[in-house]
Structure 1
């Protein structure tokens, strides 16, 4: 009995049915479309079994599957080594075409190259599309074609190019839902994937405060940020809809979305930043890397209330306010002279919105070793940051209930730490 000819659409970082470029193109195929997601063992094996991000992915896929079931289709979910899963899929179905949206991280690029080679060997067409950014890696460049390494000129070029196409076209996939393959694939439970529920949850995004985002974004007690970042990370929201909306609502908020694309193109063009300083002149810094100091930073017991509140918020919720992220990162690198890579790895483990490009980019910004980074002699004073951005102590009391009982002494005195950091950096910069 001959197998039915089908198209496969491969979900990855685009966990939504609406305004999904690759899915839209797949549904225009002459073959019925099987939507697919693969839980990749090479990623899952390094994660704790109650990782909240895996739970969020599973929950997002379940919502997609429920919507597909309403139209007589379903989501095909697989788990395993990606290469082996694809080999099995090509045996199971007569796959004529495979559609997917591009991913720009180093591991994803290598994975996709390997899968595309397999598809070509099987004489299966494959098509990839830009979906998670407005402008991808080579679309915003300097006049000589080289990538920007400073944010402001990148942003100016980005805005100039956006204005030529604004609003960015959105893709009405709903009109083509009749082209899904009729199926009732069994949707696995979280336990069947090898994971369990986490007490930490991704909360819904909230755009109601965006109009005054520029006035409130630095004050953690207001909780006025959008909580969009995990949704952008996993593609449960469309960047096109978001940018078109932000361009009308608030330019500072739009600038934050441009920062995201700036760091993504830096990672693409300079993949060394994952493990090395962007500015190699800083490779000579002699970090202290004291493990006990690092443990105190991780646990939020440094004696600096804003640092401690931020770390406790992270440990309990998987979130941390962006202003506080800058303070805790600067403290680790400058006050404690601990290599930014230690902090980057801890954030990678804990953050619900962990994104390699932004995490590396922001940590190197705080350490002064990255592109367009804060200068090495700029050392945030955590006490002044507290006075400026949480004057009434509302945020710190939320996360440090013992604060009013006589809080612990700072583990290092600010003036001493600042002088030590500047001297260490100055001595370590390679000429």
Structure 2
């Protein structure tokens, strides 16, 4: 056993199971220093938002606890990684840094710079996979570019996919006799205080590795109806694994293995299981795009959209953010987001389409709001998905496909239960008018205590006129 320690640098991989870098570090027989550095400088505008900071605080606390059960002591430091990581290497006398690869543009540059600096000074810098099922470089077109249409990506992705066997958590993590000094997590003040808006998040989520596996176990019992139920706003048909995946509390390999296990139990793939697998692959598709196009979070993949005649309307943006657009299904989605740090995927599409096409507000404004308010904020998924809705990204829905929020509500929340939950001022309205309360007769509104313009807003735009305006803007862009 060597006396010089090995650092395992954690970022968004807060788990003990299915962790190749941690397993390799423990296998050296050297003392191990689990390290997390809160770097709010290097990511620039993509430092963790408010909801992510809440999850980070809870996830770090859970990870520190589970690490301690097998002897590990999580060391916390705050500052730019380029300063703090070499500093702790020097303090500890570590001979190697093991870590899981990341894919964000700043993370790629950071890893390259650290490799150069540390290896020049004789410190090994060892990178491992685990955040994705396949590395983006493995799934490329015949011209070695990223696929920009999902279906051929999916075919290439599953062809030759070799999902690793489960890695158990280490039984023992040997700590150095004198561990480096650690920050106190409470001093970082990641949790909201004045005001504390996180009550709904705490009710909805259990951050941490055990919470992630509990979520997966619960979802497996619902998987049979996934293909149909995942689009129903009034059903619990989605996996809700995304924040656990974003923070690496569970590996995508564990999720894939659960799906293949379910398939074996049924004697083969069914449509629900394959649909769930395709959703996991869509995450990989987004990362492939981000690696190939590192400006994806800031610039449209289809460059002509840089000439789109967007509008700047702070009042309408604020109405959308607060869930006061006058369209119940849109408002329900935005209020669910604010209360729980999460939004049903169908509601994400509806609310994003409304912002971009009904209000003609740039997709990047919505992307920034989601980044701050989502507990599953993930740069690759967030930017690729917003560009998909806007029509300017890969495999994108055409810009001229404009969701009618009334029809979307009627189709995916047919009895209005989703709206009733998140827009309680409309809860007493009958199904027939709950998705368009302005169509109700005056005596109906009075009977159910709804005063349009007072207890609930009138629509901030007319659907028909907004649709025509969006199509006209698209024609102008195409003509430039």
TM-score (norm 2): 0.83
Q: Rate the CA distance shift 1:319–1:68 in 2: closer, same or farther, 3 A.
A: closer
> Partners in 2 of 1:264 and 1:254 — Cα distance?
16
Aligned residue in 1 for 2:116 = 117
> Partner residue of 1:288?
311
Give the 3-state SS of the residue equivalent to 2:396 in structure 1.
Answer: coil
Match of residue 37 from structure 2: 38
1:116, 1:421 → 2: CA distance? 48
Partner of 1:306: 329
Deviation at 1:30, TM superposition (A): 4.4
Distance 2:47 2:425 in 1: 30
- Residue of structure 1 equivalent to 2:12: 13
Are the aligned partners of 2:290 and 2:296 in contact in 1 as well (CA < 8 Å)?
A: yes
Post-superposition offset of 1:316: 1.5
RMSD: 2.3
Deviation of residue 45 (structure 1)? Answer: 9.1
Offset, 1:184:
6.5
Q: Matches of 1:236 and 1:375 in 2, distance apart? A: 35
Q: Quick check: 1:409 aligned with 2:421?
A: no
Q: 1:116, CA displacement in angstroms?
A: 1.9
Shift of 1:49: 11
Name the CA shift for 1:42/1:335 in 2 (closer, same or farther; >3 Å).
same
1:212 corresponds to: 225
SS at match of 1:128: strand
Whether 1:106 and 2:105 are equivalent positions in the alignment is yes
How many positions carry a matched residue from both structures? Answer: 425
C-alpha separation in 2, matches of 1:353 and 1:306? 21
After superposition, the C-alpha distances for 1:302-344 in whole angstroms (9 at most, x for unaligned) are: 1110001111111121111000000000001111111101111
Partner residue of 1:193 out of 174, 188, 198:
188
| Among candidates 417, 428, 434, match of residue 394 of structure 1 | 417
- How do 1:66-85 and structure 2 match up within 5 A? 66-85=65-84
Residues 154-196 of structure 1 show CA distances to partners (whole Å, capped at 9, x for unaligned) of: 011111222xx2x432323425x35454567776544312333
**Contact conserved, 1:72 with 1:182, CA < 8 A, in 2?**
no
Change (3 A) 1:86 1:368: same
**In the TM superposition, what whole-angstrom CA distance separates every residue of 1:117-151 from its partner, at most 9, and x where no partner exists?**
22123210111011100111111111232221111
The match for 2:266 is none
Match of 2:133 in 1: 134
Q: Is the 8 A contact 1:301 1:308 kept in 2?
A: yes
Contact 1:220–1:323 under 8 Å retained in 2 = yes
> C-alpha separation between the residues in 1 aligned to 2:398 and 2:386?
13
Compared with structure 1, are the counterparts of its residues 291 and 50 closer, same or farther at alpha carbon in structure 2 (3 Å cutoff)? closer
**Distance in 2 between residues matched to 1:49 and 1:259, nearest whole Å:** 23
Q: Is 1:239 aligned to residue 238 of structure 2?
A: no
In structure 1, what is the Cα distance between the partners aligned to 2:133 and 2:47?
33
- The unaligned stretches of length 5 or more in structure 1 are none
Cα 1:183–1:64, aligned 2, differ >3 Å: closer, same or farther?
Answer: farther
TM-score by length of 1: 0.92
Deviation digits for residues 87-122 of structure 1, max 9, x if unmatched? 321221111111000000012112222222221232
